[in-house]
Structures are given as C-alpha cells and as structure tokens.
C-alpha cells in the first residue's frame, strides 16, 4: 500500500524515513500541534514550497535543465487565481478556473520557450528563461490596470475558507472549527496529491528516460529517444505544477504581488532549497523546503542575536546582520554544490 502510494521510491535510509515521517505528521497536524497564526502560516508555506521545489527538481534534478523562470510559472498560477476571483466573483469555480487557466498558460509558455531554446542547446534555456522571466516581472508591474502593478491584487476567496465560517460548533482539540482550518487542509491535501503525482511521474518510464538524458543525452538520442521532446515535456509538466503551487499560495494569502510570487529572490530561494535538500530526488525537495522555510522564519532572529553580540567589532556586525543572511546562504550554496552535490538526502542515503 505504502509502496504503491510512493510509486516504489522508498526513502531507503532510516534517518531520512524518520525525518520524512516527522515532517508529514507535523504538517498534517500543524493547526493542532502548533496553534498560532504564524506557525500555521509557516506550515502552509512549507507545504506549498515543497510542491514548488519538487516541480523545480523535476526539471533540474531529473532533466538536468536549469531554469530561471520557475517563479514566473509560480506567479502565473497565482495571478490566474487572483484574476479569476476578481473578475468572475468569489467561488470555488473561479478558483478552479483560475488554477487551470494559469497552469495552461504556464505550460504553453514553457512549450514555446522550450522549443526555442532546447532544440539548439540546453544551456540557452537558462539564459532565455532568465531574460523572459525578468521581462514578465517588469511587464506585470507595468500593467497596473490588469495586475495591480507593484501593489498586487487582494481578492476574496469563497466564504467557506474564511475565518468567519464555522463548520462545527465549538472547538476541535482546542482549535476553532472555522474556514481557516478548512483552507489549511485544502492546501495540505492538494500539496500532498501533487507531490505524490510527481513521485509517480519521476518513477515512471518517462522519468527514467529523463534521467538517462541527464546522464548522457547523446546516448539517449542514439538509443532512439527524442531528447528534445522529453526535455520539453518535462519543462511543461514542471511549469504546470509550479502554476498549481502558485495558485495554492495565492489562495492561502488571498493576495498576489510581484514580490511574493515573481521576484528573483524567490527563484534563488528555490535553487537553494533544491541544492541543499538534494538534487534528483523528490524527498530532497521536502527536506530542503522544510529546513529553508524554518530557517527563513526563525534563523534570522538567531543571526541578529549573533550580530548584536559582536556589535563592538568592526565589519563583523555588518556581515552578521540579519539582512545579510543571503550572503551566508550563498556561501553554503557554493560549498554544497562542490562538496555535497547530492544534498542532504544523498548524504543520508550513502551512510
């Protein structure tokens, strides 16, 4: 049963299995285990980023293609939901239409970019996605009539997902039985399904071909697989799933804006999560996203403590400033590409 659910791709390491189970339980019971607005918000962010990072890993770790447009696809889904909810009125049908529309646009755009760049050289893809993604980000902030520009869009989600909606009287284990709880479980369930779906994809024959292309594209072509078709298909799939993650993020925040969905910073975050967690394995996305989001929310405080403790020394306080944590992540990122290219999961599996 478990094996079917995980598509035969077991964690294959005791510590890793334990970690995954702990993460699953914590996320599944987050509203009860960690009541409080901030911690539930963190849990939802972790769920969504696991899907987003896993969809990026589908491209980077399995396909061996570097894309810098993943936030663009993420944003397309988010803006799809926001626009549908604004123009079609609040309701589950507009959420669905927005999600599907965003995913379709993302997949189409990925198809076009993929056909243009991947047929020549896989390395073009990285550069072209970087250019297209920044152009789209600029465009979104300029077309303020449609997208709300820099301010973004706030929109209404169905009443059943709001805090004012009570689906039962009183409390369940000390947690108010309101729409917010439903919304968390909607996000959690959708993320779980998407994650298992991706696990299914990478362990299918299609996933195997992708891996063989990553290892040696020339040989894969010689064996008879159309490398370009597989790479483009992986790009489209990954874009569509990223758009779904974006739609979930928009539903959770009830807001979209360039900073929350399209910015280069999020792209760098995704890269860091994939590399630190472990490229080429879906579980790497789980570990990477969880660690990173937790660190983002709680480690920055620690860093500012460290900064305060050396306040009298020259330069060091600046280096340890909480705003400079990207610096240390960058160093960590370079070191992990050199020394742990398989990330945390690869390490755990080797031991």
Report phi then psi at 278, rounded to 5. Answer: 135, 120
| 19 or 275: CB nearest another protein | 275
Annotate 324-333 with b (16+ C-beta within 10 A) or e (fewer). Answer: bbeeebeeeb
Least Å distance, CB 152 to another protein, is: 18
Stretch that binds another protein, among 24-32, 155-163, 244-252, 316-324 (CB under 8 A): 316-324
As given in the structure block, the two tokens for residue 197 are: 């779906």
Q: Tell which positions 29-68 bind another protein, by CB under 8 A.
A: 60, 64, 66
Rule CB under 8 A: which of 213-252 touch another protein?
Answer: none
- Can residue 338 be called a binding residue for another protein (CB under 8 A)? yes
Please identify which residue in 33, 160, 197, 319 interacts with another protein, judged by CB under 8 A: 319
Compute the distance between CA of residue 57 and CA of residue 51 in angstroms, rounded to an integer: 10
SS3 call for 310: coil
First-to-last CA distance in the chain? 27
Q: Give the HSE-up count for residue 151: Cα atoms under 13 Å, Cβ half-sphere.
A: 7
**For another protein, how many residues bind (rule: CB under 8 A)?**
43
* Owner of token pair 């077991």: 10
Among 156, 324, 347, 349, binds another protein (CB under 8 A): 324
Q: What DSSP string runs through 101-129?
A: HHHHHHHHHHHHHHHHHHTT-HHHHHHHH
Per-residue x/- track, 112-151, another protein (CB under 8 A): ----xx-xxxxxx-xxx-xxx-xx--xx--xx--------
- The answer to whether 30 and 189 have CB atoms below 8 angstroms apart is no
333 near another protein (CB under 8 A):
yes
Kindly list the residues in this chain that would bind another protein in the complex (CB under 8 A). 60, 64, 66, 116-117, 119-124, 126-128, 130-132, 134-135, 138-139, 142-143, 264, 268, 271, 275, 315, 318-319, 321, 323-324, 326-327, 329-331, 333-334, 337-338, 341
């Amino acid at each position: 049963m478990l094996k079917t659910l995980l598509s035969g791709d077991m964690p294959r390491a005791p510590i890793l299995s334990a970690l995954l189970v702990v993460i699953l339980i914590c996320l599944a019971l987050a509203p009860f285990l960690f009541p409080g607005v901030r911690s539930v918000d963190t849990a939802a962010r972790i769920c969504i980023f696991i899907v987003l990072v896993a969809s990026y890993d589908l491209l980077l770790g399995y396909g061996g293609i570097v894309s810098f447009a993943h936030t663009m696809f993420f944003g397309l889904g988010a803006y799809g939901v926001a626009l549908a909810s604004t123009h079609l009125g609040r309701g589950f049908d507009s959420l669905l239409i927005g999600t599907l529309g965003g995913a379709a646009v993302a997949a189409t755009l990925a198809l076009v970019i993929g056909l243009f760049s991947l047929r020549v050289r896989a390395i073009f893809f990285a550069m072209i996605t970087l250019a297209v993604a920044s152009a789209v980000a600029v465009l979104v902030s300029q077309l303020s009539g449609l997208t709300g520009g820099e301010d973004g869009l706030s929109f209404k989600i169905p009443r059943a997902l709001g805090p004012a909606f009570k689906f039962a009287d009183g409390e369940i284990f000390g947690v108010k039985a309101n729409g917010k709880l439903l919304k968390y479980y909607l996000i959690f369930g959708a993320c779980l399904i998407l994650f298992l779906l991706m696990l299914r994809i990478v362990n299918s024959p299609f996933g195997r071909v992708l891996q063989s292309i990553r290892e040696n594209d020339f040989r894969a072509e010689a064996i008879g697989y159309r490398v370009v078709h597989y790479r483009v298909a992986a790009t489209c799939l990954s874009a569509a799933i990223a758009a779904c993650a974006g739609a979930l993020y928009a539903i959770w925040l009830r807001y979209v804006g360039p900073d929350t969905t399209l910015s280069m910073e999020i792209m760098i975050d995704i890269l860091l999560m994939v590399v630190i967690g472990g490229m080429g394995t879906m579980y790497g996305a789980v570990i990477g996203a969880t660690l990173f989001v937790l660190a983002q929310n709680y480690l920055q405080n620690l860093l500012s403590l460290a900064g305060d403790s050396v306040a009298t020394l020259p330069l060091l306080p600046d280096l340890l400033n909480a705003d400079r944590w990207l610096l240390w992540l960058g160093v960590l990122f370079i070191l992990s590409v050199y020394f742990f290219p398989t990330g945390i999961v690869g390490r755990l599996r080797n031991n």
